[in-house]
Amino acid sequence: MEYRTLGTSDLQLSAITYGAFAIGGNMWGGNEEKDSIHAVQASIEHGVTTLDTAPFYGFGLSEEMIGKAIKGRDRSKIQLLTKFGLVWDGSNEGKGKFFFDAERNGTSVPVYKYAAKESIIKEVEASLRRLGTDYIDLLQIHWPDSTTPIQETMEALDVLIGQGKIRAAGVSNYSVEQTAEARKYLNVASNQVSYSMLNRGIEQELVPFALQHHLGIIAYSPMERGLLTGKYFQGSHLKENDHRNGYFRQFDLPKVQAFLETLTPMAEDKGASLSQLVLRWTTLQPGITIVLAGARDAKQAIANAQAMDIHLSPDELQFINHELAKLQL
């Protein structure tokens, strides 16, 4: 495994990071707790020491399972990344920006973007309890909150750093303008954003900004929620309550399938899966610090970690990029 420094912080994170959205269950068709815990533990044992989660993932369940998975392990060798700013329990008292209605145990629950100081403090205390730790390595605002000044949010994070409850702070889903504003009040370490072979919009503005200002980029959804594994085109069926049934419709699926077919010989030649090849390509893109990869069980987790063993030459990277250009996405 390769370990990389996040921005100007002192955090050393695994290039492949465990993304814990799916093990929360909500929006992903559910998952067995023992499989999820084994996936986290297998990740750590194979060098993926960085775990990224959020309170919203499973309404606290994802954080709880990570807490169970790391219990008794050397905390100094594990990096916990979590978030704040999506409130679903009514504690915001109607404040903030309505985001969407989520399903919880068959009931519709309104979710708000809310990042006021007092709310952040409460969220962090709840996350610490669920994770079973006394500090968070990187705390990130989950989505921009238009109802709270960025200055207020950043000042709250600065207080938490001073208290030792978080080691570093980051943003997520922020534009270049919002990131620049945040940096006026706090030296944020990173911006976590969506990035994949099919979604390269950040290369236009955010990547150059990050390279210029030594800002870390954490890439999420590199597999486009499983689409780039190729399994979707091989008869794999999604559960009825899986949000990907709608998510995949945004893509020209025949073009994506044809693209993946061009990569298959390269993957086979390297003794790798398409998933591993896609992950490795993503880790090698300019400006990308770490890449999130989810896993529902230990087998998937180990495969994700082994993606870093793949060598891609400049000519092979050029071939992949040439084929990507044909997609015209």
pLDDT of 234 strictly over 80: no
The pLDDT of residue 29? 45
Rounded mean pLDDT of 75-81? 97
pLDDT digits (tens, 9 = 90+) for 163-219: 999 999 999 999 999 999 999 999 999 999 999 999 999 999 999 999 999 999 999
Q: Give the whole-angstrom CA distance, residue 143 versus residue 204.
A: 20
pLDDT of 30 strictly over 50: no
pLDDT digits (tens, 9 = 90+) for 242-253: 667 677 777 878
The structural domains of the chain, ordered by start, are: 3-225+271-312 (3.20.20.100)
The pLDDT of residue 106? 81
Q: What confidence category does residue 28 fall into, taking pLDDT thresholds of 50, 70 and 90?
A: very low
What average pLDDT is seen over the chain?
92
Q: Which of 155, 165, 59 is nearest to 105 (CA)?
A: 59
Tell me the catalytic residues.
57
SS3 105: coil
Query: Letter for the amino acid at 91?
Result: S
DSSP secondary structure, 19-67, as one string:
E-SGGG-TTTT---HHHHHHHHHHHHHTT--EEE--TTTTTTHHHHHHH
Provide the residue count of the chain. 329
Other C-beta atoms closer than 10 Å to the C-beta of 264 total 13
pLDDT digits (tens, 9 = 90+) for 93-148: 889 999 999 888 888 899 999 999 999 999 999 999 999 999 999 999 999 999 99
The pTM score is 0.93
